[in-house]
Amino acid sequence: MKKYISILAVLIAAVSCNVLDKPLDSPSQSSYADDVVFSNYTLAEYNIFGIGEVCGHTNSYRGRVHLFYGTNTDIETYSSNSAGIEDAGLDAADDRIRMAEYNATINDTQNNTATNAYNEIVAGIERANLCITGLRTYGNVDSDRNMSYLLGEALTYRAFFYFELIKMWGEVPLRTEPVTTETIYLNKVDRDEIYKVILADLDEAAERLYWPNEAPQTTRADRMNKAFAKGLYARVALSAAGWAFRPDEGQVGKGNLGSLRQTNDPELQASVLYPKALQHLKDIHNSGTASLESDYTALWKKFNNSTHMSGVPEVLWVIPFSDGRGRWNYTHAYPHSAGGPWITNKSARGGSTLPTANLWFKYDENDSRRDLTVVNMRWNGETQGWELRGAVNYWFWGKYRYEWMTTNPYNGGNDDGVKPIVMRYSDVLLMGAELAAYTGDLATAQSWLGEVRNRAMAGKQATKYTPVGSLSLGSASTDGSGMIADHANPSTILGAIFSERALELAGEFVRKQDLIRWGLLKTALDEECADLEDLAKMQGAYSAYAAYATDRETDGRQFRTYPLYWKEDKANQRIIFFGLDADEIGKTPADYSVTEPNGWNVQERYISTEAFRNATTGRYTYEHLYRNAYDDPWPRSVWPMYNLTMSAMQGVLRNDYGYAQIQ
């Protein structure tokens, strides 16, 4: 049956999507047959824009996906947790806390809606399928280079969306053709089938897409390009051959709990995928079309100012929000408590997600990323200045700042227009280093890791990091399991990559999938909780602070506290603090005295167990990175199919992983 595309719907989608910034010059008819739409470049391009428009929907990437997926890890957390619940049980938990703590439910009030993120992404896949089918049939893609590019773009969108579904929901229904009456109601398929479709799509897309800046279409980071498709191939390959909690073979969609395992599919083994993925990354490296921004801080100033959209070869692809759409800084920026120069109303914004309390301490003191990425300050609209925000458990993302949004200032509403980065070239280098290590090429692994490390250190000597040239191959092997053995050994290449990906990509929310594919989700979260407890108690790696701590008593509880000195540096839009670096422990700033503080303030109870304790419940926040009936994040490392979604599928779609069925 011949399908028809509504031009009105297409134009609305195109106008909403940032990738369309030229006048609409289409004919005035209300609808066209596919043979007209997909044989005309302008009309076909509008339909490609319509795929990306799905990202701007409220329950899609605008206001749900990037807030709910990505926490809790060993570097990123949701700002609230079940330690603050007054009930002894979990029933009072906010659904956002449940999701962060690996305890989602099928009736989650945030997602059990007709327009939840799952349904929105599936809608994007349907739009991609319409474009792929139409372009293959009518687009003359084998001889028209620009129409071929559009097909590559649609294929990359479909691959991206399906990978997102696997990350968040595990197994899902698979459709590679537009929906028909025969294919409306489908159950889930094994993710291996989907991975093979994704990888094939990206292989083809990489042949059809232009390199960044090779053509007018790829001068902007919100259009698909060859470098992103190749990088996405590597990202998918690492997950396809890696670890995941999965239903038993042949049990998908039958209510099976599952187990932690790698694939048994011979086409998806690391020995098959990793060499090919590494070659894709070498193609990017050798193309000259992508490179690191020379200065890490400059990169994030451009990001916040929306000037990362062109002329920044480190940015390979961004979510294509319009200038007035999206809630990235609204959600993740360090908080502004009230109105000020960068927020015109009186609403507080930012701080919905946080770095873990110990992330700052994981960086080398000379690492240029540390004091940019992790800040313990907020803007106080009442005093019109920057101030310390609480104790050691209150750090925020310094990468994301309203004061750097000068081209497209934030007006204090529900959207900020910031375009989230999906992939950077530094991620390509670190994936390449990992893949090279798995294939036994230590020299390439050291070289690519070194590119990222060298920018971070900006010519300064590292005191915490093992020199890249001294790293050993360790347990790296082609089965992809070496990270389990080596992640805590900083003298191995995989141990260094485990840390470097955390330090480089913190606050970009790729860490959860890294921990999953490495088979380290529970291990890393348990290690993180233990380290947070050490920080709170000033023991283990943090014992140097204990020697200068003061004994205190509150409500009959004895505990020790360590102080922090801080003051505002208004000229540089920040606070500076003293007392945390190794050569500052137990000392006071040179220009400080009790009688002449010279602007310094003292937070007497900066490090202590009390900073991590909820006064009402007596619980400690370092115990709550995951909290569910399994006492294990793995069975809840993917979300359930929600009640309304399963109901709409007439009972065909079923949950696995111990989740409930339709209620």
**Residue 345: its pLDDT value, please?**
64
Q: Is 327 among the domain residues?
A: no
Average pLDDT on 325-349 reads 82
Mean pLDDT of the chain: 91
**Residue 624: its pLDDT value, please?**
87
175 and 278, same domain (yes or no): no
Q: Is 213 among the domain residues?
A: no
**Residue 345 and residue 342: Cα distance in Å, rounded?**
9
**Residue 159 and residue 194: Cα distance in Å, rounded?**
9
Going by their DSSP bridges, the two strands 315-318 and 377-380 should be labelled as unpaired
Average pLDDT on 184-206 reads 97
102 and 11, same domain (yes or no): yes
Q: How many CB atoms lie within 10 A of CB 88?
A: 9
**Residue 83: its pLDDT value, please?**
80
- 28-85 tens-digit pLDDT: 334 578 999 999 999 999 999 999 999 999 889 998 888 889 999 999 999 988 886 6
Residue 124, pLDDT > 70, answer yes
Structural domain of 195:
1-76+92-208+628-663
**Residue 636 and residue 102: Cα distance in Å, rounded?**
5
- 423-439 tens-digit pLDDT: 999 999 999 999 999 99
169 and 292, same domain (yes or no): no
Average pLDDT on 324-328 reads 92
Q: Is 559 among the domain residues?
A: no
**Residue 9: its pLDDT value, please?**
39
Maximum separation of any 2 CA atoms in the chain, in Å? 85
201 and 315, same domain (yes or no): no
Q: Is 239 among the domain residues?
A: no
Overall number of domains in the chain: 2
11 and 150, same domain (yes or no): yes
Residue 615, pLDDT > 90, answer no
60 and 165, same domain (yes or no): yes
170 and 280, same domain (yes or no): no
4 and 112, same domain (yes or no): yes
Selection from 59, 46, 179 nearest residue 120 by Cα: 59
Query: Which residue among 515, 534, 567 closes a domain?
Result: 515
7 and 98, same domain (yes or no): yes
Q: Is 486 among the domain residues?
A: yes
Q: Is 246 among the domain residues?
A: no
For residue 150, give the CATH number of its domain: 1.25.40.890
Query: Residue 563: phi, psi to the nearest 5?
Result: -90, 165
435 and 303, same domain (yes or no): yes
Query: Which residue among 515, 537, 554 closes a domain?
Result: 515
167 and 274, same domain (yes or no): no
Selection from 319, 129, 321 nearest residue 228 by Cα: 319
Q: Is 578 among the domain residues?
A: no
CA 38 vs CA 46, 150, 358: distances in Å: 10, 10, 53
User: Residue 72, preceding bond cis, omega within 30 degrees?
Assistant: yes
**Residue 479 and residue 271: Cα distance in Å, rounded?**
7
Query: Which residue among 515, 543, 559 closes a domain?
Result: 515
160 and 289, same domain (yes or no): no
Q: Is 654 among the domain residues?
A: yes
